[in-house]
Amino acid sequence: MITEPYHHTLPELTWSGDRLCMLEEGKAIPLQCRYCRPQSDPKGPVVIRQEKQEGKEKEKRPAKEVALLPSLDVLPDEQRALVERDLELRYPMPRIVSIEHVFCDRGKRLLEVTTDAGPTSFLIRDPSASLQTLPDGYILISDLAGNRYRIHPESLSERSYARWLQVV
């Protein structure tokens, strides 16, 4: 179990354009954040790495680890918000706010839903393999294409909840 980050002091983090960066000698170096464990453990360790740089031979830079954090809780609020933003971009997980329709056919379920990112539809096969309860009370749904959605059944309207019962 990881109890300490590799680096006790992180470099200054900032958001530059569409990505997380660290400032090194006044230069913005692009970073990537990744969970070290499945997303079902969002409080677990996170690695922060420099992005691998392609290009001319002199400019190439291999991906280099900047920090391994036991959890985001070790970061000051401002840095934590930046890292969380990067993780949300890397691992999008829209929250389902309503279920419009559920169609069942030969063991598969097609869900037409509205998420906090807009309307969508997706297909799941076996609810026991596609649904996972998270520690925060949400249920993680993995569809056949590998996309992931979060749902909190208790926050659904009565109509959407009745449709949710068709899924499980």
Pairing status of strand 13-16 against strand 65-69? unpaired
| Look-up of token digits 């996170």 | 46
Report d(CA 41, CA 103) in Å as an integer: 31
**For residue 41, what pLDDT is reported?**
60
**For residue 93, what pLDDT is reported?**
86
**For residue 4, what pLDDT is reported?**
53
- Average pLDDT of every residue of the chain: 85
**For residue 26, what pLDDT is reported?**
83
pTM of the model: 0.65
Alpha carbons within 13 angstroms on the beta-carbon side of residue 140 total 18
What b/e string do you get for 104-137 counting C-beta neighbours within 10 Å, with b at 16 or more?
eeeeebebebebeeeeeebebeeeeebeeeeeee
6 vs 50, higher pLDDT: 50
pLDDT interval class at 109 (50, 70, 90):
very high
**For residue 136, what pLDDT is reported?**
81
pLDDT interval class at 135 (50, 70, 90):
confident
Look at residues 123, 83, 86, 84 and name the one whose alpha carbon lies nearest to residue 107. 123
Q: Is the pLDDT of residue 6 over 50?
A: no
